Structure 1
Amino acid sequence: MPTIDINCDMGESFGSWTMGQDLEILPHITSANIACGFHAGDPEVMLKTVQAAIATNVALGAHPGLPDLQGFGRRAMALSAAEVYSLVVYQVGALQAFAQTQGTMLHHVKTHGALYNMTARDVALARAVVQAVHDVDRGLLVYVANENMARAAQDIGLSVAFEVYADRTYQDDGTLTPRSQPHAMIEDVDQAIAQVKRMVREGVVRALSGRDVPIAADTLCIHGDQPGAVHFAQRIRAALEADGIAVRAV
């Protein structure tokens, strides 16, 4: 039976400011990428999100980003590999501590926003990220969607889960269409479902050019901050399960 994990970025509220619909979306996903206080989140939000994920049997993941609350971690920064190593250790270690206080452990790590994009361009930064994950806990999975991260993680002996997207379009090289370009986002849930089914069952995705591009699909990202995110996640999971695709954590 084909299987897929459904992951979602969450824990991105801060103080009295709320972002996303974490509690509503948790029943429809199988793993949570929880912000660690740098690009979003704060200690109280981290703890509450960990507790909510445990209550819904959702696997816990750290979602480290750049130290840029104002820019939500989506603005590139000039950082050395050593600096990237330190900030990833700090964030993954922090979320791991929250998990341990609740009697459980982390399952995976997925980098956020500009930090992830920086690893796609700079192999030294990708190696710094995976070295940090390895040094905190070599048993952690790394969710990847670029070649630098995948190769760096595998080279150091970490297990990887290849990530795909339901609400994003793809280019001929298998990369996501930049958000700054037209048709980058998929807002029609039926189109998203059809895309995911092909990725899981056939190992291909239809690029904007019309070309079928090979792709590996272990985990599916749902963006919890998009309009109608809960309905989107609910419809996709129900459609996958109705089609005989098992939905469970990697």
Structure 2
Amino acid sequence: MAVIDLNSDLGESFGAWTLGDDAAMLDLVTSANVACGFHAGDPTTLFRTCRDATERRVRIGAQVGYRDLAGFGRRFIDISSADLAADVIYQIGALDALARAAGSAVTYVKPHGALYNAIVHHRDQARAVVDAVRAVNPSLPVLGLPGSAFLEEAEAAGLRAVREAFADRAYTPEGRLVPRTEPGAVLHEPDAVAQRVLELVTKGTTQAIDGSRIEVPAETICVHGDTPAAVEMAAAIRKLLDDKKIQVKPFV
């Protein structure tokens, strides 16, 4: 029987501004990439998200990013390795304290936004994130794009490297994510996204933006919590996977 983890980026509301429907997404996913306050999220929001995830037995991951609230962590920052490593350590520690107060703990780490994309090829920053995770807890798995410098550095350092695919993002023929600034970068149609996930799970392939088919091996698949119709997409994915007798469970 095929098995897959579904994850989503959550806890991204801030103060009076609400982003996404975290409670509804937590009923559908098995892992929650919870913001850590640097790209999004405030302490009250993060604590509530951790409590809600704990009640549903959803795994909590620290979604670490650049210190960029105004840009939602989607702008590259040319930061030194030492500063980036310290920032990542800080974020993991803060979220883990909130998760433990909620009765759970951080069980993995996933970079966010521009940092996620940068460390596909930016080896110095990739190594800095790996060093930070190892300093906090070398048993924490890390999520990243297949074939990225980040996962290569993680494996070389002895971390568990978990390959991730995206339900609602377009891919280049090289297996990279199409930048959000380009047309067609984000997918919105629930049934089409569900069929795409089914292919990723059963065949390890998907269609790139140019129409070619590419290999995308993955242990976990992300449905972004801030994407319009995110809940509808996640619900369509779960229904199709259930119908096909594919087990949805945490990777860790």
TM-score by length of 2: 0.95
Query: Which residue number in structure 2 is paired with residue 59 of structure 1?
Result: 59
**Runs of 4 or more consecutive aligned structure 1 residues displaced over 4 Å after TM superposition:** none
1:97-124 Cα shifts (integer Å, max 9, x gaps): 1222233221111111111122123101
Query: Which residue number in structure 2 is paired with residue 148 of structure 1?
Result: 149
Query: Which residue number in structure 1 is paired with residue 28 of structure 2?
Result: 28
Deviation larger for 220-229 or 30-39: 220-229
CA distance in 2, matches of 1:45, 1:196: 29
Q: Which runs of 5+ in 2 are unaligned?
A: none
Task: Say if 2:4 and 2:250, in contact at 8 Å, map to a contact too.
Answer: yes
Q: Secondary structure at the match of 1:49?
A: helix
Percent of pairs identical after alignment?
A: 42
Asked if 1:187 corresponds to 2:221, the answer is no
Q: How does 1:181-220 map to 2 (within 5 A)?
A: 181-220=182-221
Q: How does 1:14-163 map to 2 (within 5 A)?
A: 14-146=14-146, 147-163=148-164
Q: Secondary structure at the match of 2:45?
A: helix
CA deviation after TM superposition for structure 1 residue 153, in Å: 0.7
Q: How well do the aligned residues superpose, as a CA RMSD in angstroms? A: 1.2
Task: Say if 2:194 and 2:233, in contact at 8 Å, map to a contact too.
Answer: no
Query: Which residue number in structure 2 is paired with residue 224 of structure 1?
Result: 225
Q: Which runs of 5+ in 1 are unaligned?
A: none
2:48 maps to a residue whose letter is K
CA deviation after TM superposition for structure 1 residue 37, in Å: 0.8
Aligned residue-pair number: 250
CA deviation after TM superposition for structure 1 residue 157, in Å: 0.6
Query: Which residue number in structure 2 is paired with residue 249 of structure 1?
Result: 250
CA deviation after TM superposition for structure 1 residue 210, in Å: 2.3
TM-score by length of 1: 0.96
CA distance in 1, matches of 2:189, 2:15: 33
1:24-48 Cα shifts (integer Å, max 9, x gaps): 1110000001111111111111111
